[in-house]
């Protein structure tokens, strides 16, 4: 079948403003948008700039605004897209070229919440593994699924307008450690997240939950972190 694409192009060397360009490619209904973009790049205009890597929805590098909704280009099927398909770069991050945005503000938020396991400072190195029951393991299972694709953060209206807000993905990754029974850094993280750029910026727009390609209940995770910060329960 034919697929009509409207791509928001921007080349900093020649363009003052981004503009739409239209392309038509041939694709199978079971193909993915990424296949269509590859066709544009390989057969029509090799200057089209996009990030992609695994093409399996694991690496999280090809997030785009597809028909107004953030999604991974490698996961959206041609048959599920309304035509013409409008593709724009993620919002809220500076565009470098076409669909490539500067991810640094996103990763700065991620690093700010100390996304690594902070062990009990008083504990001796255990001889074996630390004990963690399947229920304790289950507590943070949902948020381990994050692939840092930024679909949630760049669909968040607060993140668009407030450069201080760490954004949903950073909170999801904080949640992953705050609710891990082996972690002792929760108080530190909650202090960071109670600050100006933290969880209380969230106005529960739910855009993040809708955007997550991994099906993580992002807003729920944020609410759990808010509650932990307020009532000291984690």
Partner 1 sequence: MTPRPPFRTSVSNVLIIGTGGAGLRAAIAAHEAGTEAVVIGKRARKDAHTVLAAGGINAVLGTRDPEDSWEQHFIDTWRDGYYLGNPRVIELLVREAPSVIGELEQWGCDFARTPDGRLDQRFFGAHKYRRTCYAGDYTGRAMINALDARVTELDIPIVENQHVSRLLVEDGSCFGAFAFNLSSGERTVYIADAVVLATGGHTRIWRKSSSRRDENNGDGMYLALQAGCRLADMELVQFHPTGMVAPEEMAGTLVTEAVRGEGGRLFNASRERYMTRYDAERMELSTRDRVALANYTEITQGRGGPHGGVFLDVSHIGKEQILKKLPRMYRQFIEYQMLDISRHPMEVAPTAHYSMGGVVVDPETHATDVAGLFAAGETTSGLHGANRLGGNSLTETLVFGRRAGAAAAARAQSIDVQVRSRSRIEEANAELDSFIKEGTEFVRPLQRALRDNMWEHCGVVRSEQGLKQGLQKIEELKDLLPQVDVRPTSEGYDDLGHALNLRGSLFSAQASLLGAVERRETRGAHNRSDYPQLDEKLTVNLVSRLTRDGEFEISAEPVAPAPEHLSHWAKDDAHLEAKGRLLE
Q: Based on the shown chain and the rule CB under 8 A, indicate whether residue 161 belongs to the binding site for partner 1.
A: no
Q: Based on the shown chain and the rule CB under 8 A, indicate whether residue 113 belongs to the binding site for partner 1.
A: no
Q: Based on the shown chain and the rule CB under 8 A, indicate whether residue 183 belongs to the binding site for partner 1.
A: yes
Q: Based on the shown chain and the rule CB under 8 A, indicate whether residue 122 belongs to the binding site for partner 1.
A: no
Interface residue with partner 1, options 10, 140, 159, 165 (CB under 8 A): 140
Size of the site for partner 1 (CB under 8 A): 42
Name 95's bridge partners. Answer: 101
Name 63's bridge partners. Answer: 72
Taking the C-alpha atoms of residue 96 and residue 134, their distance in angstroms, rounded to an integer, is: 44
Q: Based on the shown chain and the rule CB under 8 A, indicate whether residue 30 belongs to the binding site for partner 1.
A: yes
Buried b (16+ CB within 10 A) or exposed e, 132-159: eeeeeeebbebbeebbbbbbbbbbbebb
Q: Based on the shown chain and the rule CB under 8 A, indicate whether residue 51 belongs to the binding site for partner 1.
A: yes
- Long-range (24+ apart) CB contacts under 8 A made by 182-188 are 182/117, 182/119, 182/130, 182/132, 183/117, 183/118, 183/119, 184/118, 184/119, 184/120, 184/121, 185/114, 185/117, 185/118, 186/228, 186/234, 188/114, 188/118
Q: Which is nearer to partner 1, 71 or 148 (CB)?
A: 148
**231 φ, ψ (degrees, to nearest 5):** -105, 5
The CB-of-176 to partner 1 minimum distance in angstroms stands at 8
Q: Based on the shown chain and the rule CB under 8 A, indicate whether residue 148 belongs to the binding site for partner 1.
A: yes
Q: Based on the shown chain and the rule CB under 8 A, indicate whether residue 44 belongs to the binding site for partner 1.
A: no
Taking the C-alpha atoms of residue 211 and residue 220, their distance in angstroms, rounded to an integer, is: 14
- Stretch near partner 1 under the rule CB under 8 A, chosen from 17-25, 78-86, 123-131, 194-202: 123-131
Q: Which is nearer to partner 1, 23 or 177 (CB)?
A: 177
How far is Cα of residue 92 from the mean position of the Cα atoms in its chain?
12
Answer yes or no: are the C-beta atoms of 96 and 12 closer than 8 Å. yes
Q: Based on the shown chain and the rule CB under 8 A, indicate whether residue 79 belongs to the binding site for partner 1.
A: no
The CB-of-187 to partner 1 minimum distance in angstroms stands at 17
Q: Which is nearer to partner 1, 42 or 206 (CB)?
A: 42
Q: Which is nearer to partner 1, 48 or 208 (CB)?
A: 48
Interface residue with partner 1, options 19, 79, 111, 196 (CB under 8 A): 111
Would you tell me which residues interact with partner 1 (CB under 8 A)? 11, 30, 41, 46-49, 51, 53-56, 58-59, 61, 75, 111, 114-117, 119, 125-126, 128-134, 136-137, 140-141, 144, 147-148, 177, 180, 182-183
């Amino acid at each position: 079948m034919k697929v009509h694409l409207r791509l928001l192009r921007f080349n900093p060397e020649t363009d003052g403003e981004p503009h739409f360009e239209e392309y038509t490619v041939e694709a199978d209904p079971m193909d993915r948008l990424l296949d269509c973009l590859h066709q544009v790049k390989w057969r029509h205009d090799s200057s089209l700039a996009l990030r992609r890597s695994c093409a399996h929805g694991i690496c999280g590098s090809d997030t785009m605004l597809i028909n107004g909704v953030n999604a991974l280009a490698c996961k959206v099927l041609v048959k599920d897209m309304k035509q013409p398909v409008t593709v724009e770069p993620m919002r809220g991050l500076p565009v470098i070229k076409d669909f490539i945005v500067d991810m640094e503000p996103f990763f700065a938020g991620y690093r700010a919440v100390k996304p690594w396991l902070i062990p009990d400072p008083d504990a001796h190195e255990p001889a074996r593994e630390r004990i963690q029951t399947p229920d304790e393991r289950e507590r943070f299972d949902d948020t381990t699924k994050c692939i840092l694709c930024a679909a949630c953060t760049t669909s968040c209206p607060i993140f668009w307008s407030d450069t201080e807000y760490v954004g949903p993905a950073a909170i999801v990754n904080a949640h992953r450690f705050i609710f891990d029974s082996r972690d002792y850094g929760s108080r530190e993280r909650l202090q960071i997240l109670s600050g100006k750029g933290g969880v209380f910026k969230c106005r529960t727009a739910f855009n993040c939950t809708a955007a997550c390609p991994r099906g993580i209940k992002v807003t729920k995770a944020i609410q759990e972190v808010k509650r932990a910060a307020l009532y000291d329960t984690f």
